[in-house]
Structure 1
Amino acid sequence: MFKKIVVPVDVAVLDKGMDILKKAAELCDPDGEIILMHIVEEVPSYLSIDVPVDLVDKAVTDAKDKLHELKARTKIDAAIEIRIGPPAREILACAKEKKADLIIVASHRPDISNYLIGSTADRVVRHAPCSVLVRR
């Protein structure tokens, strides 16, 4: 059993989020903690002139709402955390700061672009300070 599990969820794909949250609940110690998180990617500065000023704020609010909805649907107690930045970097930073002993991340089927630049799950696996479970 794991004491602290970080569960990064893409709120655009809540079905995968539900799957990995349920797996976290199965693997979490009764006295453990699950950190349900979403990362809002920053808007590149060269695009910021063309997007609404409050785009990131709206994305954060939407993500919080969807994570609360996911918690309610699964009835699993988890702390919610929203971060802004590159997904892999923020997942790894959260795991390190919270002293997590497991990260559970969803992954899609790889295509050629993943072999050239690597996916978020690949980066998390390579650089994580703890164990990583990748669910497909």
Structure 2
Amino acid sequence: MYRTIICAIGMGSRETAIRLLRRAAALVDEGGSIVVMHVIENIPRHHLADIPEEFETTAIIEAERKLVALSKELAVPATVEVRIGVAASLLVSAARERSADLILLSSHVTDITDYVFSSIVDKVVRHAGCSVLIDRRPGQAQEDAALF
């Protein structure tokens, strides 16, 4: 199946994170590797004065702690990596750096900002040099279809 999988997990739904990790474990080759990646989006400069200096460090440590614990709980051997920046670009870069052959990420319910700015999923699909698997929440296809 896949030698190296970049499994993108946000800090939203635990159910989604579990589903993604289990899917990655089912798809990785024996002896392959799973990199669980979380990206903390850049904070606009004009907001930095309102945020404590240790915010980024604390956010990284907390995300790593949660993802390592979840990987252990599910017995999914994975490397956890947390980066700060633009999610789509960093996911594509991480896949390139590791010669990954799959990026696994979850879709979300589309909203107006996706039409104006494009979603992370759209950007990853357009720019990835490897296969991209978009995990859809059960029942989401019906919800998305109802938007039109």
TM-score normalised by length of structure 1: 0.95
Count of residue correspondences: 136
* Cα shift at 1:12: 2.6
CA distance in 2, matches of 1:89, 1:16: 22
Structure 2 stretches of 5 or more lacking a match? 137-148
Which residue of structure 1 aligns with residue 94 of structure 2? Answer: 94
- The AA in structure 2 aligned to 1:82 is V
Which residue of structure 1 aligns with residue 59 of structure 2? Answer: 59
* Cα shift at 1:43: 1.8
CA offsets 1:60-96 (integer angstroms, 9 cap, x no match) = 0110111012102211000111111011111111001
Which residue of structure 1 aligns with residue 46 of structure 2? Answer: 46
Moved more, 67-76 or 92-101: 67-76
Which residue of structure 1 aligns with residue 12 of structure 2? Answer: 12
Structure 1 stretches of 5 or more lacking a match? none
CA distance in 2, matches of 1:44, 1:113: 17
Please list every run of at least 4 consecutive aligned residues from structure 1 whose deviation after the TM superposition is greater than 3 angstroms.
Answer: none
CA offsets 1:103-126 (integer angstroms, 9 cap, x no match) = 000011212321222111111011
- The AA in structure 2 aligned to 1:128 is A
Q: Is residue 55 of structure 2 the alignment partner of residue 84 of structure 1?
A: no
CA distance in 1, matches of 2:132, 2:54: 34
